Amino acid sequence: MNNNYKYLIWSGTAALIVLSLFLLVTMNRISDTAVTTNTISFSGEGKIFAVPDIAAISFSIVTEATTSKEVQNQNSEKSKKVVEFLKNQNIEDKDIKTTGYNIYPQYSYPLPTGRQADPIPLGAESIAYTEYYPSNPKITGYQVSQSFEVKVRDLEKISTILDGLVTAGANQVNHLGFQVDNEEELKEQARELAIKDAKEKADKLKKQLDIRLGKIVNYSEGGYYPVYFKAEALDSRGGMSSGPDIPVGENEIVVNVTITYQIK
């Protein structure tokens, strides 16, 4: 067998292999396209309502003084009193945390000593002035803002704690919200309801459209978890008046799912 004949056999074999691979890839693409295009999706929603068992309160201690050291010392004393009050209400250490600590310089801005007219551009209808100041702004003091978040597991104490926080030294109550401790478990229940809802819609519609459904080719999930609460008697400074009425209400946990089926 001469070399030319061997070369032709080798070339033909290589071409056959390349052609086979090309056909295989093409068939897979056609198959994938069919699965992707011949599909139908169904959405479902699941809702669970639950009475909250935890109150989350965020509050701040804001302190001002002439020096950085003094303002931090004063703020530290206030925060100790606030934490001590919370512990006296049987709030555990794990449920009290600092969420922010900031120090801000306080400035005084001097009044201008005079002003001078700027050169008037050609065609201008008004005169512009430049004001002159005696010096740059000066630091007159410092402000510390320390933010906290506390979880109250005994909801009957909410009113007492809100009132006591202000008395102990907190001068801003920023937010009050209610949570459910076993939220993940409730979310799982809502998911089961949503999937059931989507499958029931699929069974109903396949009969109406006279189609056959194959395997599930895609699944997506979303949801939102709004918190419903009402805090009455909130004064303009963010504190609570004596004995505020705090209805707890209900939390609604919603899960939305979309299930995509292949159409046979």
Helix (H) or strand (E) holding 3: helix 3-37
CATH of the domain at 173: 3.30.70.2970
Q: Tell me the C-alpha distance between 18 and 92, whole Å.
A: 71
pLDDT at 237: 41
Is 22 inside a domain boundary?
no
Is 186 inside a domain boundary?
no
pLDDT at 189: 93
pLDDT at 1: 52
Q: Tell me the C-alpha distance between 37 and 262, whole Å.
A: 9
Is 258 inside a domain boundary?
no
Q: How many domains does the chain have?
A: 1
pLDDT at 135: 65
Is 227 inside a domain boundary?
no
pLDDT at 40: 92
The amino acid at 148? F
The amino acid at 33? T
- Give per-residue pLDDT as tens, 38-81: 899 999 999 998 888 899 999 999 999 999 999 999 999 999 99
Is 38 inside a domain boundary?
no
- Domain range spanning residue 145? 55-180
Is 237 inside a domain boundary?
no
Whole-Å CA distances, 231 to 53, 96, 185, 193: 16, 21, 27, 32
Q: Tell me the C-alpha distance between 148 and 166, whole Å.
A: 13
Q: Is the dihedral of CA 60, 63, 68, 73 positive or negative?
A: negative
Is 108 inside a domain boundary?
yes
* Residue 97 region by backbone torsions, left for phi larger than 0, else alpha for psi between -120 and 50, else beta: beta
Percent of the chain predicted with pLDDT > 70: 67
Q: Tell me the C-alpha distance between 174 and 247, whole Å.
A: 18
* CB-based contact 245:258 (threshold 8 Å): no
pLDDT at 227: 47
Task: Give the residue ranges of the chain where pLDDT is below 50.
Answer: 30, 32-35, 227-242
Helix (H) or strand (E) holding 182: none
- Spatial CA neighbour of 171 closest among 47, 56, 81, 264: 81
